[in-house]
Amino acid sequence: MKTDTLNGSLDLLVLKILSRRGALHGYAIMLAIEEVSGEMLRVEEGSLYPALHRLEQEGLLKAKWIVKENGRRARSYELTALGRKHFAAEEARWSTVTDAVRRVLKLA
Amino acid sequence: MRWFGRFLNLFRKQRIDEDWAEEMASHLAEAEERGRSVDEARQAFGNALQHRERSRDIRLLGWLDALASDAVFGWRQLRKRPAVSVAAILSLALAIGATTAAFQLIHAVLLRTMPVADPQSLYYVASTYIDREGKADYRDEFDYPTFVSYREAAADRAELLVAGMTARQEAVLTPGAEPERVYRQFVSGNLFGVFGLQPALGRLIGPNDDLKPGGHPVAVVSHEFWMRRFGGDAEVVGRTFRMAGTMWEVIGVGPKGFVGSEPGAMTDVFVPAVMNVEALNSPGWSWFRLWVRPKPGVSAEQARLIMQAVFRRRHEEGLKNFAADTPKAVVDRYMAEELVMLPAQSGVSDVQRQYRRPLWILSMLVGLVLLIACTNTGNLLTAQAAARTREMALRVSIGAGRWRLVQLVMVESLLLAGLATALGTLFAAWSAPVVVAMLQVPQNPVRLPLGADWEDWGFSVALTFFVAILFGLAPALRASGVKPMSALRGGAESHSRRRTMHVLLAMQMAFCVLVQFIAGLFVSTFDRLSNRPLGFTVERLLVADVQARKAEPRQSWEQVVDHLRGTPGVQGVAMASWPPLSGNRWTLTVRVPGIAPEARAPYALGVTPSYFDTMRIEMLGGRDFHATDVPPRLDEAKRPLPGKVIVNDAFAQIYFHGENPVGRVIAVRLSKDQASDAEIVGYVRNATYSDIREPMRPMVYLPMEDRGHVSFFVRMAGEPAGAMQLLRRTVGDVRSDLRVVQVQEQSAFVRWQVLRERLLATLSLFFAIVALALAGIGLYGVLNYAVTRQTKEIGIRTALGARPLVVMREVASGPLAMVALGLAIGLGGGVACGRMVESMLYEVKATDPSAVLGPVVVLVLVAVAAALPPALRAARIDPVDSLRAE
């Protein structure tokens, strides 16, 4: 798979996870990704952060510093209204595309 | 907004980095908590630096960050070599300043769109004609009866407007105060409406203010005048003031930015056209321009044809008044005239008409100077880049992209250009008004709003980028093309660099020669015109323009002349209808028995006895007029009566084959069918008449008739300037009812005749000097650089026994060959451009050997002067020192 598609799917995954589970910090998001996609989308853990920062810069996420139970600070991300809307649109687009691909594969 | 957020991040760089570090630490800590080892966690995290860079790029608008650091770096580079930077900035600033000033002038005079509704559909009307020299020209001034006839014909298909010539008037704005000068424009009642203008205060002149001749003494003051003279006082509406013998009521203030329809003039007071009562029924009294706005659905051509039909009909009627023996050429010329409609979106004025070409020519020269300055800076930077090859190579080898290097150099160029533009704008702000002052005749100063628009600022910004690209791009691309290996090894100087510099040098020389060439043409034009023999002596000659209440016989004017003669310091006094070179013309149709009528009628002027003596026009034969001489004329019963005339040499040449014409009788036509006999009593040398550029034409002097307006000529024994007041007082003493409108030296008329030539000569000379200085510096720079780069080589050659002269030749031959090439190209271009400026020249041709020789000599001298110091330095290189230095 090409990187940009992968990036696209990573974005989508992040948005999906956050839309389901509300606010999460970086490590929790990474765990969730692992849980959902197994090894398939496993990338360097660090590359999650530029992606999060980009989504934040684009106004799809907002972030704030929280204090975890153990007293450590962590940066927690959640969807903005714009992010929610964007996600809905993206989800719809992806399912159309994947449907089409599935049909093509069946036909062949 | 998001972009702005990233921009702000630039200033929060440190916080962002700290945030990142903490977020990563938090991630790793959690990984450890969940049972991974430190190493394992770090490995899983991946390349932390890379992730941080990516993240930071996202947040920081990466290139902007780089740009800022490039700017800081560029600034340091500029400061590291102050002499070069200052030289580059100053020469660029001069060129950019001149360019900016030229643009501001052209914009203000020729290009600025009028602040009115739908300016693209506005036109003005002109009638074409063939002038006495056989050149096509047009008139764009109309009389009121003509306007009325066109307006009736166009009725519902086009709006016709009267836009009067802006004229200076005396007005008493506050009761009892001294009269002030205001600029007044007559406008038709529909003008403000058709222009779609709204008053800033009160109301504007409307159709109902333009109905009854003399019945609407109302005025609208311009916004600019309102602010300047009344300080923006709202009470101005309803005020009355006196102007030209009428009390006017101010009914409103015009919209901001609207100062009339004539670029170069600014109207203070607008008044209804019907208030110009005497002119309304006077055919042939032209006092306004006729503007047209076709109604929706009517094309400009349709509107033109409507008026053209009327024009044609009136012309055919006019033809009936031609004498039966009128030469066919005159009739053909007359019937070939037609009406045209010209776009008026940028206004219409005499200033535009007179200075359109000169301004474009000057802007071309300015453009050349700008190119020279750019090539100069380009060469400096190229030489500079040579010194920085190692730095660039180092940057490439540690991973800087090529594009990044281009950006680095371009930012530096932009800094240079930006500083130069800032300085240049100051220069323009100073110089543009100086040039405007050179355009004007004292009675009618040119008034221009300069450099106020966004277009002017936009031009400056665009110019900065343009200039930076022009001189910076080549060095930038060169820098990016650096080959790290050879450069770091201290490899040989690249030949392509030297080639670039040589090409730039040749270009620079070509531009420079072109500027010298054109400047030479204008300077010699100005020189020839101002030294042209006038046929009379202008020194110590005063001209007083005197107005009586009504036309008076010559005898009553002579009283004043007699009185003036008795004034101390006065050598001679005479009168004429108007002064020579004042632009007035009068032609007389004459018939000489046995000679076919000329298509070009001779000029005529009414004078009094001793006119020739006072003017120092030599009598070639016969006698001066006597007080009793009368011109050929019609008596009360319209019967022709004979008279006396004096003719000039050119007249004798054309009509009498150069024989002495004294005693001969010619017929002077006084109306369509009537002619009087005129005896030639005298014969004088040629003198210029109306236009200093015109060759000497046949001319007839007649005894001056009854006039209400006369010019007095007073030849003083000493300095005339102080005598002006005396002259005014003396006239007032003799006849208190006479008004001295103006007293001038006759030399002023000569000066005003060559105003345009003086402007072109002065400015082009200035640009020529600047261009020469820049080109000299450029050549010196290139040679100096060549010597520096080749020090070692020259040292070896000298050590091997090369003689100094040979060394000098080796060093200088390349660049000097480029100078020669540039010279040839520039001259070729000059001769080609000569055509374009031909109409601005007088007795000078682009192909004259002297025109070609001048620039060559000047440039060769400058080239030698610039090349000598580096060449001498090369010859004096000591082999031992040069080899030790490496």
The interface pTM score, or ipTM, of the predicted complex is 0.83
Residue B810 lies in a domain: yes
What residues in chain B have per-residue pLDDT under 70? Answer: 1-12, 60-66, 397-401, 441-444, 451-452, 482-496, 883, 885-886
Looking at the 3D structure of chain B, how many domains does it have? 5
Task: Choose one of B695, B718, B741: the last residue of a domain.
Answer: B718
Measured in whole angstroms, the distance separating CA A9 from the mean position of its chain's CA atoms is 7
Q: Which stretches does DSSP call E strand in B245-357?
A: 246-253, 269-272, 288-294, 339-343
User: Cα distance from B44 to chain A (closest Cα, Å)?
Assistant: 6
Residue B727 lies in a domain: no
Domain boundaries, chain A: 3-107
Whether residue B415 sits in one domain with residue B514: no
d(CA B724, CA B743): 6
- Residues on chain A touching B24 (C-beta within 8 angstroms): 46, 49
Residue in A with minimal Cα distance to B19:
A75
φ and ψ at B742, to 5 degrees?
-160, 140
User: Cα distance from B11 to chain A (closest Cα, Å)?
Assistant: 16
Asked if pLDDT for residue A1 goes beyond 50, the answer is no
Q: CB within 8 A of B210, min separation 6: which ones?
A: B188, B189, B190, B216, B272, B273, B274
d(CA B674, CA B632): 11
Q: How far is CA B3 from CA B60, B158, B279, in A?
A: 10, 52, 65
Residue B728 lies in a domain: no
Can you give the length of chain A in residues? 108
Can you give the length of chain B in residues? 886
What domain range includes position B250? 119-345
Question: Contact B360/B475 with Cβ under 8 angstroms?
Answer: no
Q: How far is CA A88 from CA A98, B69, B335, B452, B837, in A?
A: 16, 41, 80, 52, 70
Whether residue B472 sits in one domain with residue B435: yes
Question: Which of the residues B18, B55, B59, B61 would you substitute to probe the A interface, choosing the one with the greatest number of A C-beta atoms within 10 Å?
Answer: B55
Whether residue B498 sits in one domain with residue B484: no
Whether residue B200 sits in one domain with residue B90: no
Asked if pLDDT for residue A6 goes beyond 70, the answer is no
pLDDT at B184: 94
Q: How far is CA B381 from CA B50, B406, B468, in A?
A: 35, 13, 11
Q: DSSP of B357-398, one letter per residue? A: HHHHHHHHHHHHHHHHHHHHHHHHHHHHHHHTHHHHHHHHHT
d(CA B122, CA B676): 49
Out of B31, B47, B50, the one facing A27 most closely (by C-beta) is: B31
* A57:B22 CB<8 A: no
d(CA A89, CA B406): 41
Nearest to B409 by CA among B387, B392, B390, B396: B392
User: Cα distance from B59 to chain A (closest Cα, Å)?
Assistant: 7
DSSP class of residue B561?
A: H
- Two tokens, residue B95: 């060129």
Residue B733 lies in a domain: no
- Two tokens, residue B169: 């008037």
Chain A residues interacting with chain B (CB cutoff of 8 angstroms): 25-27, 30, 43-47, 49-50, 53-54, 57-59, 70, 72-75
- Residue B90: strand, helix, or coil: helix
Of A8-12, A15-19, B286-290, highest mean pLDDT: B286-290
Question: Which of the residues B24, B58, B59 would you substitute to probe the A interface, choosing the one with the greatest number of A C-beta atoms within 10 Å?
Answer: B58
Out of A46, A59, A70, the one facing B45 most closely (by C-beta) is: A46
Question: Contact B156/B295 with Cβ under 8 angstroms?
Answer: yes
Task: Choose one of B289, B317, B345: the last residue of a domain.
Answer: B345
Whether residue B341 sits in one domain with residue B355: no
Asked if B12 reaches chain A (Cβ–Cβ under 8 Å), the answer is no
B542's enclosing H/E stretch is strand B541-552
Q: Which stretches does DSSP call E strand in B99-166?
A: 123-130, 136-139, 158-164
Nearest to B746 by CA among B769, B715, B772: B715
d(CA B372, CA B720): 46
pLDDT at A5: 47
Across-strand partners of A13? none
pLDDT at B93: 92
Question: Contact B674/B638 with Cβ under 8 angstroms?
Answer: yes
Question: Contact B666/B656 with Cβ under 8 angstroms?
Answer: no
pLDDT at B77: 80
Residue B518 lies in a domain: yes
d(CA B636, CA B845): 54
Q: CB within 8 A of B864, min separation 6: which ones?
A: none
Whether residue B571 sits in one domain with residue B499: no
d(CA B390, CA B873): 26
Task: Choose one of B697, B718, B739: the last residue of a domain.
Answer: B718
Asked if pLDDT for residue A102 goes beyond 90, the answer is no
B695's enclosing H/E stretch is none
Residue bearing tokens 């910090």 = A25
Asked if B828 reaches chain A (Cβ–Cβ under 8 Å), the answer is no
Out of A50, A70, A75, the one facing B51 most closely (by C-beta) is: A50
DSSP class of residue B847?
A: T
Whether residue B319 sits in one domain with residue B187: yes
Instruction: Count the Cβ atoms, other than its own, within 10 Å of residue A42.
Output: 12
Residue bearing tokens 């020579």 = B580
First to last CA, chain B: 56
- Two tokens, residue B518: 């054109």
Whether residue B308 sits in one domain with residue B183: yes
pLDDT at B487: 62
- Residues on chain B touching A47 (C-beta within 8 angstroms): 46, 51, 54
**How open is the CA angle B658-B626-B709, to the nearest 5 degrees?**
100
d(CA B110, CA B262): 10
Whether residue B486 sits in one domain with residue B496: no
d(CA B46, CA B365): 62
d(CA B166, CA B266): 8
Residue B25 lies in a domain: yes
Whether residue B96 sits in one domain with residue B44: no
Whether residue B292 sits in one domain with residue B189: yes
DSSP class of residue B647?
A: E
Q: How far is CA B19 from CA A66, A74, B14, B340, B702, in A?
A: 13, 10, 9, 74, 100
* A53:B44 CB<8 A: no
Question: Which of the residues B16, B47, B49, B54 would you substitute to probe the A interface, choosing the one with the greatest number of A C-beta atoms within 10 Å?
Answer: B54
pLDDT at B443: 64
* B24:A50 CB<8 A: no
Question: Contact B437/B101 with Cβ under 8 angstroms?
Answer: no
d(CA B278, CA B143): 11
pLDDT at A2: 36
Residue in B with minimal Cα distance to A73:
B26
Nearest to B852 by CA among B867, B833, B865: B833
- The CATH number of the structural domain formed by A3-107 is 1.10.10.10
d(CA B517, CA B268): 43
